[in-house]
Structures are given as C-alpha cells and as structure tokens.
Structure 1
C-alpha cells in the first residue's frame, strides 16, 4: 500500500486528516500531515515533507496531496517526485476519503481520484434547479 502525505498552508492538512478519521477510524496507517506555518522556511518545510514521505513509504511509494497548485507545499514537493512518489494538487475532502478508502484494497488510479474530487464540487442552487419533482407529490 502506498503511503500518503497531506501538505498544506496552515492546519488544513491536519484538519482533513482528523476529519477523515471520523469516517475511517482513528488508525490510518502510513498517513502523515505536514502543515506549513508562517515562520517556516520553504526549505525546512521541504525537509519536513521528505521526512514524512520516508516515514509512510514502506517500499511501495507514496502520494502527496497538496492543498494548492503553485503554493509552497506543492512547490516543495516537486523536487521529491520520482517513480515511486506522486503528487496531486488541489485536494478536497472527497478526494482524500476516496483515496484512503480504496488504497488498502486496490491499486488506485490517480486520474480517477482527481475526477472524483471534481465531481464533488457543485454550486448548490444550480444543482437543486436541475432536480425534477415527482408529479405525484
């Protein structure tokens, strides 16, 4: 099973991991959160990401979920990419839950994780306007 490192500005990564535990249980193996603080240097944060990857990678590799494309957490992940290390930027909670729930049982297709995350982004009023009511109500 591939390890997972969630990286973000502020405490978003830790909060997402904490919320995932409500759905999937408190024991999520091979998962770490790295939270960039205002006083962290980019280089020190890159070292923190590398250490987290090393901790969750048991030989099958790791995936880094970053909060924002082009931000420091994403940018500090780029030099760490390899045949075994992947990164997805723009993480949302639906993507995280889908990945964590599938990774134990199957090889996870990263493009499908991205697609699932995109499909969970809706504007509520627009969505509700597409629903039709049953005439029998």
Structure 2
C-alpha cells in the first residue's frame, strides 16, 4: 500500500480525510494531513511534513497531495520528491482523495500519481454545460 500525506493551507487536508471517511465508510490507514500555517518557520514546517511522510511510508512509498501548485505546502513538499519513493501531486480535491484511497493498493507510486493527476482534471465539471447537453459529466 502507498502511504498518503495531504499537505494544505489550514485544515483543508484534515477535512478532506474526514469527509472521505464518511463516503468510503472507513478511516483510511496510512493517510495523514499536515496543516501549513505560512507564518511558521519553514524548517519547522518541513519537519512536520518529514515526520508525516515517515509515518505513512510503506513498502510501496508515499504520495504527497497538496492544495495548489506553487503555494507554500507544495513548495515544501517538493523537497521530498524521490523517484519511486515519494511523489507529489498538486490540486487535491475530494474526488482525488477518494480515488487515491480506492486505487493505491492496485498501482505503483508513479502510476497512482499519474492516474490522480488525470482523474483530477476530469473531476471538474460545469453543471450548466452538462445540463444543456454541451458537455459530458
């Protein structure tokens, strides 16, 4: 199983995990949220992420999900990239978290990261376009 760390501004990661638990019906193991307060010292924040990655890392590595590319959570997380061991996907949302929970035992780390990137792009829809029949849901 691939461990998952969700690194976000504020409490977003914790809320995503709690909400995913309601939907999937169980508390996901080897999944932890790290809340980033941008007023904290960067080394302290990096330490929080390092401890979380260590805690969830299993035989098949760890995936870090961050809220937005270029933000402090992402910038800190990039320092943990290790091909085949730790990967980072930015733009986390609830569909991505649920997909990660349901897919992480069936893929290697690289496959999971790529799958979640593609899935996340497809998980955003404009309802009015779908309802008018202009777009697929």
User: CA contact under 8 A between 1:95 and 1:116: conserved in structure 2?
Assistant: yes
RMSD (CA atoms): 1.4
| Regions of 4+ moved over 3 Å | none
Matched, 1:112 2:115: yes
Normalised by the size of structure 2, how large is the TM-score? 0.88
Matched, 1:122 2:105: no
Matched, 1:65 2:65: yes
Gaps of 5+ in 2: none
Q: How many residues align?
A: 130
Normalised by the size of structure 1, how large is the TM-score? 0.88
User: SS in structure 2 opposite 1:130?
Assistant: coil
User: CA contact under 8 A between 1:43 and 1:76: conserved in structure 2?
Assistant: no
Shift of 1:18: 0.5
Shift of 1:127: 1.6
Larger Rg: 1
| Aligned CA distance change for structure 1 residues 74 and 126 (closer, same or farther; 3 Å) | same
User: What pairs up with 1:16-55 in 2 under 5 angstroms?
Assistant: 16-55=16-55
CA distance in 2, matches of 1:82, 1:8: 20
User: CA contact under 8 A between 1:3 and 1:61: conserved in structure 2?
Assistant: yes
Shift of 1:38: 4.7
CA distance in 2, matches of 1:20, 1:128: 27
1:63-110: CA deviation from partner (whole Å, max 9, x where unpaired): 000001001110001111112000000111111111111113x01522
User: What pairs up with 1:65-104 in 2 under 5 angstroms?
Assistant: 65-83=65-83, 84-104=85-105
User: CA contact under 8 A between 2:38 and 2:72: conserved in structure 1?
Assistant: no
